[in-house]
Structure 1
Amino acid sequence: MLYILLNWIYIFLICLGMGAILNSILRTKTGLFYTLLLGIFAEIILIHFYAIGFPINEFFYGFNFILASFGIIFHKKILSQEIKSAVSDWKTWKKPIQILGILLTILILMQSATQPFIVDNETYYIQSTKWLNEFGLIKGLANLHIFFGQMSGWHLLQSGFNFGFVSNSLNDVNGFLMLIFTGFSLYHLNRFFQTRITMDLFLGLIPVGNLFLFQFLSAPSPDLPVFLISQLIFYLFYRNYVEYQGDFKMLFILTLLLILTKITVVPLLILPLVLIIRHQLFKSEWKYAFRISLIALSGFLLKNYIISGYLFYPTEILSSFLNPDWKAAPEMLRLFFEERPEYEIIPDQLSEINRENFFQLFKNWLLEPGLRSIFNKLIIVLLLIFPLYIRKNKTLFWLYIYALVQFGLLYFTSPQYRFFMPLIIGMSLYILAKLLLNSPKKVIPVFAFFSLIVVVPLIFSFNVSNLKNSEFMPDKLEAYRIENIIKPAKNSLHNFEYELMEEGNLKYNSPIGQKEFFWITGDGDLPTVNRRMVEYFKKWYKIRPQMRSESLKDGFYFEKLKE
């Protein structure tokens, strides 16, 4: 916990300085919370371009610290005012809300110090940040493991804060985001008791989902920023729809931030577009929107092109115009438009799944095991009942249109329950806020119970065998351990031993004894990939990964094998 706290201070200073620099250019909303979010966006953009030619190592950390320090020094007056204002606001909070803030900070620290519980952390999160720390962006990395092709801007951000050259335990960017969002939510919760405004309560209730959200704190999952920041985007859109409050720039930057984090949220662009049209902001905002979009899109496309050879990975849009030798095998991209195989599903079986009719697929989707079934049913129920609230509040109409477009895109491309969670959280919070709006005495008890219930799995080992969404996840949530009060748990659930394998000109490390899930790599030395995954693609797709030269930094290509 102590190491995490120190790392949070470092992240705070970097984001503060970078946010101040960006804010001085864009002149967006002021306030400590928004400055830190701008800093996160600026940091992601910086790393996108820096990692093209250089590793995110100690030299980057030094350069980054100097750059952020200049930002703090040159804008110290404004930053000092923002910090003083935040402290002053905290002093005005109701005493129970202050106590909740302290307790939640401790719980976020504790959860961040536990072992990560997310399967994707073991398949490609850990290895993604290791590649970035060691080499930066690598040509054709998706040929080594197809999941590397979906490396997120959030993983780039984590590589800038994990001090990978000295530790494998600091995966704290999600914990930091949860911390500042909790403070922001508590500010609006306290404000609700003064304004009695629904959307203040909407933001204030975000931590009631902590039992779910906390499972994403100890790994650099890009899902958490999407869950949280999307609620802020909904709030800013709602706030500016009837009467424009000047928040377009911030809303647009946050939308770009989430697109860089997870491309599946691209329908969010509907919301800033609606504001531009409704309030006729073309003259005042189009140049800003174009420039910032061009920078963000350039970084995004370059990252995709280097890693996979595709600009819009995992789609083949415009791919016929670009054919680098490191371009990922088209056969591998098929997996992103099927239900991701959890077993060694052969291509014929995937084709058989695709032949099922719409209603059979929908039924299978609703009846998926564990949490998936619960959340799949919940999103359908929410989409059906939410129009009742639109009748009373027309401002919600475009938010609902966005929800339908987002649901449709996800359902027909990648219907994983996690991708629906921003919609589930947003609609659930709004309904809960409406239910509690006229019962202010119930707000703090409800908030306290649901936000603090996370203490149970933190103290006691919690069995989730009936709820987990994958059989490759452990049956129990590991409780917090006292030894983690100084140093957090390592970044992997597993203690694999690795064997050195050779495939053509490629020598790689493969986890020993990992038979259930061949996508898993764990925390092995570079390059690490599962031997059974390599054999799977050799057998069914007649391809194998190969090095482009004798050096890992030159990347990988796929070799087509003879029949």
Structure 2
Amino acid sequence: MLVLLFCLFLSCILFYTYGVYFISIFNSEMNRYSFFDSFFIGFCFIGTILNLWSIFLPTNIFSILFLMLFGIYIYYKQKKFLNLKVKKFFRKIKENKLISLLILAIILIQLLYSVGIPKNYDSYLYHINSIQWNEKFSVVPGLANLHDRFGFNSSQFVLSAAFSFNELYNQYIFTTNSLCFLIFFIWILLYSFHKKNLFGLIALLFGYYFFYQYHTDLSSPSTDLIPNLLFGFLMLKLIFNSDSINNKRLLFIVLSFFIITFKISLLPIVIIGLISIYLHKQNFPFFIKKTFLFGIIFILPWIIRNVILTGYVIYPLSSLDVFNFDWEVSKESVVDIQKWIYSWARIPFKNHNEVLSLSFFDWFSVWWQNCLMRNKIIFIISLFSPIIFTFYFFTNKKQKKLHISITFIICYVTLLIWLFTAPDIRFSFSALLILCAFPLILLNKYIYRFTKVIKISIILFSLFFLYEFLTIGNNLFLSEFKNYKKIENYYYLPSDVYYVKYKRKIEYNQLEYKTPEGLKINLFEPKNRYTQCFDKFPCSWYLDNTIKLRGEDLSDGFKNDKN
């Protein structure tokens, strides 16, 4: 637990420091950006640095040492401003003793989630393996030939490789999801208690349902929580303050561009970044220049990683096949994995050809039956949100409506893409939640007489939220504690992910592959194929004789005879 607190604190300081530095590079008015804005900008900036770093070098202890050394330089250059902002942040917290106690409680309760082993199934299937490849090598050509999931090039994997502190403690400490959620949770709480209006209640409700959807990901390097969190953060910012798209344009540009390096299904969020660029000067040549600049900074390193891992600009989109490298994944395999993504999100555990042959109404009826009641309600409200938006639009002629219109368009386009491709609720949950907020946004101008009721509601709901947070976290912790460790063992280090393997007792086949020069390299696969294999390296859940080594070392990558 002590190690986890140290890792969270160190990561937080680095993200915030780099955020302030990035804002200063573009000569923006730094006082406009809060601690939370700077933190998330810094998180995206460091993620971009690591994406670039990983093209040439392994992402490991040396990468975080580099970040720390440069962070010291940034602190030296921005010492006065950084200290002033931190003091202002803590002064704001101290002004309200209830908030101070709640934040302390949130941090302590968060540890119940973070000290546990990952609860996400895919973390054991390929997330941890992907992190291991990033730790040991620079980006490996054709790695997706070894395991199709290794082509899912989420920025989460390079961030987790650097911020898991594996080399330092000889075990993984997954901090990124946990820390980002913690900062986001604190922001929601501070905003709610500061505003004490309907928007404050909307923020709390968003946080509550977001928590319920993603709480099992807090100890995992899963790839769904952070992009949806950043998406929700931007949308709530825009709803609560229409001027923020002008006053904090770097926040909207940086986060919207970087989100797609986590989750391509959230691509419509880029609209808000493009609008922020255009509104800056409303000059088309300037717009093209700045879009190109930010695209190179935040998206190009990710695209280069895609091409090296898979041979495709965006994987798994077989239509974006503009190269002809020998490590390129076969089109047949790319089409197959894309079918699995779409079909599994609709009806899991069934053959993808069978699912995709069904009409919309046939698969939707099965999908609907499998949805939780809570998610059904969220989906219905979000689906019919155009009616609510239209009513809002024509009854608020005197109000500025651009920010609400932008929010609605982005979220609804995201909803439609999600619904007709891969409608797994976790992929685009934030867009659905924001659309569900429109009825409350509509009510905002009608309930000014009930401010006292809203204030009381915020306090009571915050306490209820905290109670739920504690109860669920305690249950998760106790269920793990019974199976794996003595409680005193948690005081220093969190659970080691490798404790899971003792329970699973998976046996492996060891297959021998020859390099072009005749050297022998061993690869592993589970004897029970299509099984998680995070505790072996190098490992794939399924090996076949079409896989070939490209060179004398694993870092030279893999190719496939299917091409």
**How would you bin the TM-score normalised by the shorter chain?**
0.7 to 0.9
Q: Secondary structure at the match of 1:42?
A: helix
C-alpha distance in structure 1 between counterparts of 2:443 and 2:218, whole Å: 29
1:236–1:247 contact (8 Å) kept in structure 2? no
- Residues 553 and 497 of structure 1, relative CA distance in 2, 3 Å threshold: same
1:260 is paired with a residue of what secondary structure?
coil
Partner of 2:549: 547
CA distance in 1, matches of 2:244, 2:112: 42
1:265 Cα deviation after fit: 0.8
Task: Give, in angstroms, the shift of residue 521 of structure 1.
Answer: 1.9
SS of residue in 2 equivalent to 1:419: coil
Q: Which residue of 2 aligns with 1:13?
A: 13
Q: 1:238 to 1:454 in 2, by over 3 A?
A: closer
- Describe how 1:310-389 pairs up with structure 2 within 5 A: 310-319=312-321, 321-340=322-341, 349-368=351-370, 371=372, 375=375, 378-385=378-385, 387-388=387-388
More moved, 155-164 vs 201-210: 201-210
Which amino acid is the alignment partner of residue 483 of structure 1?
Answer: N
Shift of 1:121: 0.4
Q: Does 1:258 align with 2:251?
A: no
Secondary structure of the residue aligned to 2:56 is: coil
Q: How does 1:207-246 map to 2 (within 5 A)?
A: 207-209=207-209, 210-238=211-239, 241=242, 245-246=246-247
Q: Which one-letter code corresponds to 1:162 in the other structure?
A: S
Q: Does 2:493 align with 1:484?
A: no
Q: In the aligned structure 2, how far is the partner of 1:129 from the partner of 1:214?
A: 21
Distance in 1 separating the partners of 2:62 and 2:243:
48
Q: Give the AA of the match of 1:131.
A: W
Alignment of 1:123 with 2:92, yes or no, is no
What SS does structure 1 have at the residue aligned with 2:426? Answer: helix
Shift of 1:7: 0.5
Structure 2, unaligned runs of 5 or more: 394-400, 515-520
How many angstroms does 1:480 deviate by?
10
Residues 386 and 318 (structure 1 numbering): CA distance in 2 closer, same or farther, change over 3 Å?
Answer: closer
1:426 matched to which residue of 2?
Answer: 434
In structure 2, relative to structure 1, the CA distance for the partners of 1:71 and 1:185 (3 Å cut) is same
TM-score by length of 1: 0.85
The residue aligned with 1:100 is 102
Report the secondary structure of 2:419's partner residue. Answer: helix
TM-score, structure 2 as length reference: 0.85
Partner of residue 55, structure 1: 58
**TM-aligned CA distance change 1:497 to 1:339, over 3 Å:** closer
Counterpart Cα distance in 2 of 1:375 and 1:480: 37
Tell which deviates more after alignment, 352-361 or 298-307. Answer: 352-361
Determine the C-alpha separation between the residues in 2 that align with 1:8 and 1:48: 21
Q: Secondary structure at the match of 2:489?
A: helix
Asked if 2 retains the 8 angstrom alpha-carbon contact of 1:7 and 1:172, the reply is yes
Aligned counterpart, 1:148 = 150
Given that 1:226 and 1:262 are in contact with CA atoms closer than 8 Å, whether structure 2 keeps it comes out as: yes
Residue 510 of structure 1: SS of its match in structure 2?
strand
Q: In 1, distance between residues paired with 2:440 and 2:175?
A: 30
Are 2:33 and 1:30 aligned? yes
1:77-112 deviation digits (Å, cap 9, x = unpaired): 11111101101110123x333222111111112211
Deviation at 1:463, TM superposition (A): 12
Q: How far has the Cα of 1:236 moved from its partner? A: 3.3
Q: Distance in 1 between matches of 2:220 and 2:440?
A: 29
Instruction: State how far apart, in whole Å, the 2-side matches of 1:243 and 1:297 are.
Output: 23
533, 536, 557: which one aligns with 1:521: 533
Q: What residue in structure 1 maps to residue 517 of structure 2?
A: none
Q: Choose the corresponding residue for 1:417, options 417, 425, 442.
A: 425
Deviations 1:380-438 (A, max 9, x none): 33321563255235553332222221122122322211113112332345656778963
Matched, 1:74 2:87: no
CA contact (8 A) 1:101 1:183 kept: yes
1:85 partner amino acid: K
Task: Looking at secondary structure, tell me which structure has more helix per residue.
Answer: 2
Instruction: Determine if contact 2:141/2:310 at 8 Å carries over to the other structure.
Output: yes
- CA shift, 1:245, in A, is 4.0
Q: Name the aligned partner's letter for residue 452 of structure 1.
A: Y
Deviation at 1:276, TM superposition (A): 5.5
From the superposition, tell whether residues 559 and 102 of structure 1 become closer, same or farther in structure 2 (CA, over 3 Å).
same
How far apart are residue 24 of structure 1 and its match?
A: 1.3
Unaligned runs of at least 5 residues, structure 1: 465-473
**C-alpha separation between the residues in 1 aligned to 2:474 and 2:105?**
14
SS in 2 for 1:207: helix
For 2:485 and 2:427, how far apart are their aligned partners in 1? 27
Supply the AA of the counterpart residue of 1:59. F
Instruction: State the secondary structure of the residue aligned to 1:560.
Output: coil
Contact 1:11 1:161 in 2 (8 A): yes
| Partner in structure 1 of residue 510 of structure 2 | 501
Distance 1:412 1:382, change over 3 A: closer
Seq. identity, %: 22
Matched, 1:188 2:197: no
Contact 1:546 1:557 in 2 (8 A): yes
Cα separation, 2, equivalents of 1:385 and 1:262? 24
Query: SS of the counterpart of 1:546?
Result: strand
State how far apart, in whole Å, the 2-side matches of 1:330 and 1:97 are: 54
Query: Number of residues paired by the alignment?
Result: 529
Give the 4+ runs in structure 1 shifted more than 6 A: 432-437, 476-480
Counterpart residue type for residue 220 of structure 2: A
Q: CA deviation at 1:31?
A: 2.5
Q: Distance in 2 between matches of 1:462 and 1:160?
A: 26
CA contact (8 A) 1:202 1:430 kept: no
**CA offset digits 1:119-141 (Å, max 9, x no partner):** 11011110111111111211111
